[in-house]
């Protein structure tokens, strides 16, 4: 009987570790997707529209820039604290790698 309890406990621990691992993988994937989206949006925002001679491409990029700026404004609206801060302090970069500054990993502190 004790043998079955030990095996049951071991199986329960393995299932728990598996669920935790899957959750962490999902969180990593979410951070990766958000980081990629942020990089892509930054590329659009950094384009100088005056250097583009094709009017169709210029209009497309201008629409994309406008949509990105509207999205950023929508994301910052619900935060009541951000409305009291100056415009220059409202936007902050997301933390895509939260463990990078902790001393528990092999990386030096920055």
Q: How far apart are CA 39 and CA 41, in angstroms?
A: 5
Going from N- to C-terminal start, the domains of the chain cover 2-73
pLDDT of 98 strictly over 60: yes
Mean pLDDT in residue range 25-48 = 92
Mean pLDDT in residue range 1-28 = 83
- pTM for this entry: 0.50
pLDDT of 4 strictly over 70: yes
End-to-end CA distance of the chain: 54
Asked if residue 100 lies in contact with residue 107, where contact means CB atoms within 8 angstroms, the answer is yes
């Amino acid at each position: 009987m004790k043998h079955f309890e030990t095996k049951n406990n071991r199986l329960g621990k393995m299932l728990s570790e598996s669920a935790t691992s899957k959750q962490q993988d999902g969180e990593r994937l979410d951070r990766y997707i958000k980081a990629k989206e942020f990089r892509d949006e930054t590329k659009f925002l950094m384009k100088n529209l005056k250097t583009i001679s094709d009017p169709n491409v210029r209009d497309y990029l201008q629409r994309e820039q406008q949509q990105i700026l509207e999205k950023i404004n929508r994301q910052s609206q619900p935060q009541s604290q951000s409305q009291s801060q100056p415009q220059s302090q409202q936007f902050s970069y997301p933390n895509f790698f939260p463990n990078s500054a902790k001393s528990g990993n092999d990386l030096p502190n920055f």
